[in-house]
């Protein structure tokens, strides 16, 4: 579609932002007309930044529209423009939505009608990570999508919990796709893109993960979501920024309580005192958002178990166990146990984690 080139061309200019682009689009009603408008026409638009108008006009002189578009196509990056029918409706409703959403992954995997943001400290405590696992694990195999920022700490934990529990997940990054930040999450990026969800960014592929882009990214995390769960947050944290954006966007704000001796919980208790919902289990989230817990259908064939398979599954009912623990409790020989574990894995009922540990998936 020819008009897409103008959206991408706008988006490729670092000296302007989505608010500027959408102000022009809304005024002219057509993205090509907006892109080709002159400075005199810009003067008729109330509230339009003169400096950004000048920056845009200067950048436009040296911009090759076809080349800017080709760079996106060459990288295999997909995108949604603000006027695309698949652009998420929840995000379209916020103040200053992204003009363009670049993405990797498959949009059809995501249920945009049940999206839950999870945010927290990058230096998250073990307690906070364990508490988040406890709260989210009962959402296992539902149609709820977990949204977070693919940063270190709680973000990474939230995405991993989603994947481990059969939930889809959206990662929102603060740079273009030429960068992976933090580099340690490269495998997580790949997992989400390949199988478990979608990665979004409003930034053209070559834009770096600069400091000011992370707070900007946060409005997308909360904007995509019906509610936000804050797992840990100090007074001066990106998580607290996202919490405030959640309230500004008219969405539900929820907090997991933490140890009062931990400085990273100061923001949590401030939010709770100001009316955020206290969350200690998944039902608190479902009640707050008015959602029913609908499990994904599991085929009857996959649940048809032999006596030995059922015995192994029963041993994994409460917690993960190592191969040696399962052998000791089941009294099976090594070959028999291996065969039954393999059959249960193939049926998607259990999963091997952390070396030789096994956990129940259904």
3-state secondary structure the chain: CHHHHHHHHHHCCCCCCHHHHHHHHHHHCCHHHHHHCCHHHHCCCCCCCHHHHHHHHHHHHCCCHHHHHHHHHHCCCEEEECCCCCCCHHHHCCCCCCCEEEEEECHHHCCCCCEEEEECCCCCCHHHHHHHHHHHHHHCCECCEEEECCCCCHHHHHHHHHHHCCCEEEEECCCCCCCCCCHHHHHHHHHHHHHHEEEEECCCCCCCCCCCHHHHHHHHHHHCCCEEEECCCCCCCHHHHHHHHHHHCCCEEEECCCCCCCHHHHHHHHHHHCCCEECCCHHHHHHHHCCCCCECCCCHHHHCCCHHHHHHHHHCCCCCEEHHHHHHHHCCCHHHHHHHHHHHHHCCCEEEECCCEEEECC
Q: For residue 303, name the pLDDT band (cuts at 50, 70, 90).
A: low
The answer, yes or no, to whether the previous bond of 232 is cis (omega within 30 of 0) is no
Instruction: Output the pLDDT for position 304.
Output: 72
308-333 confidence digits (pLDDT tens): 998 898 898 878 899 999 999 899 99
Instruction: Output the pLDDT for position 346.
Output: 84
9, 35 in Cβ contact below 8 A?
yes
Distances (CA, A) of 4 to 70, 87, 125, 257: 11, 14, 44, 45
Q: Which fold has domain 105-289?
A: Rossmann fold (3.40.50)
Instruction: Output the pLDDT for position 300.
Output: 43
Whole-number mean pLDDT of the chain? Answer: 92
Sequence ranges of the domains in the chain: 2-72, 105-289, 300-360
Q: Which fold has domain 2-72?
A: DNA polymerase; domain 1 (1.10.150)
Q: For residue 34, name the pLDDT band (cuts at 50, 70, 90).
A: very high
Mean pLDDT value of segment 138-165 = 95
Mean pLDDT value of segment 123-133 = 94
Architecture of domain 300-360: Orthogonal Bundle (1.10)
Instruction: Output the pLDDT for position 191.
Output: 96
267-276 confidence digits (pLDDT tens): 999 999 999 9
* Of 128 and 294, the one with more pLDDT: 128
Which percentage of the chain shows pLDDT scores above 70? 97
Return the exposure string of 143-182: e unless at least 16 CB atoms fall within 10 Å of the residue's CB, then b: bbbbbbbbbbbbbbbbbbbbbbbbbbbbbbbbbbbebbbe
> Is residue 241's pLDDT more than 90?
yes
pTM: 0.81
Give Cβ neighbours of residue 274 (< 8 Å, ≥ 6 apart). Answer: none
> Is residue 184's pLDDT more than 80?
yes
Mean pLDDT value of segment 224-250 = 93
Q: For residue 301, name the pLDDT band (cuts at 50, 70, 90).
A: very low
Of 142-156, 159-173, 216-230, 324-338, which gets the smallest average pLDDT? 324-338
Q: For residue 236, name the pLDDT band (cuts at 50, 70, 90).
A: confident
Which percentage of the chain shows pLDDT scores above 90? 78
> Is residue 293's pLDDT more than 80?
no
Q: For residue 295, name the pLDDT band (cuts at 50, 70, 90).
A: low
CA nearest neighbour of 20 among 102, 98, 105, 137: 98
Of 93-97, 107-111, 261-265, which gets the smallest average pLDDT? 261-265
Instruction: Output the pLDDT for position 352.
Output: 86
Mean pLDDT value of segment 220-237 = 94
């Amino acid at each position: 579609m020819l008009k897409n080139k103008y959206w991408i061309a706008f988006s490729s200019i670092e000296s302007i932002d989505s608010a500027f682009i959408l102000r022009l689009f809304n005024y002219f009603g057509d993205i090509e007309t907006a892109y080709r408008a002159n400075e005199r026409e810009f003067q008729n638009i109330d509230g339009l930044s003169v400096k950004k108008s000048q920056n845009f006009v200067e950048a436009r002189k040296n911009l090759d529209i076809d080349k800017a578009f080709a760079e996106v196509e060459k990288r295999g990056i997909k995108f949604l423009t603000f006027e695309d029918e698949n652009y998420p409706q929840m995000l379209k409703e916020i103040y200053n939505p992204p003009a363009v959403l670049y993405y990797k992954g498959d949009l059809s995997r995501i249920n945009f009608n049940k999206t839950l943001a999870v945010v927290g400290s990058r230096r998250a405590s073990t307690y906070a990570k364990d508490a988040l696992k406890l709260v989210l694990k009962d959402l296992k195999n539902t149609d709820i999508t977990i949204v977070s920022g693919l940063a270190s700490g709680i973000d990474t934990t939230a995405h991993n919990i989603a994947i481990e529990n059969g939930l889809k997940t959206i990662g929102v990054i603060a740079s273009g796709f030429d960068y992976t930040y933090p580099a340690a999450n490269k495998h997580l990026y790949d997992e989400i893109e390949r199988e478990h969800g979608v990665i979004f960014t409003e930034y053209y592929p070559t834009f770096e993960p600069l400091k000011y882009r992370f707070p900007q990214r946060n409005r997308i995390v909360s904007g995509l979501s019906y509610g936000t769960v804050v797992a840990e947050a100090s007074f001066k944290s990106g998580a607290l920024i996202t919490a405030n954006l959640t309230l500004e966007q008219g969405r539900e704000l929820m907090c997991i309580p933490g140890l009062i001796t931990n400085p990273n919980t100061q923001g949590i208790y401030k939010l709770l005192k100001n009316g955020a919902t206290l969350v200690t289990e998944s039902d608190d989230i479902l009640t707050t958002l008015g959602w029913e817990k609908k499990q994904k259908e599991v085929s009857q064939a996959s649940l048809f178990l032999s006596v030995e398979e059922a015995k192994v599954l029963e041993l994994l009912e409460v917690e993960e166990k190592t191969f040696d623990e399962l052998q000791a409790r089941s009294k099976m020989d090594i070959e028999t146990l291996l065969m039954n574990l393999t059959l249960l894995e193939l049926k998607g009922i259990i999963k091997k984690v952390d070396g030789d540990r096994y956990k129940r998936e259904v």
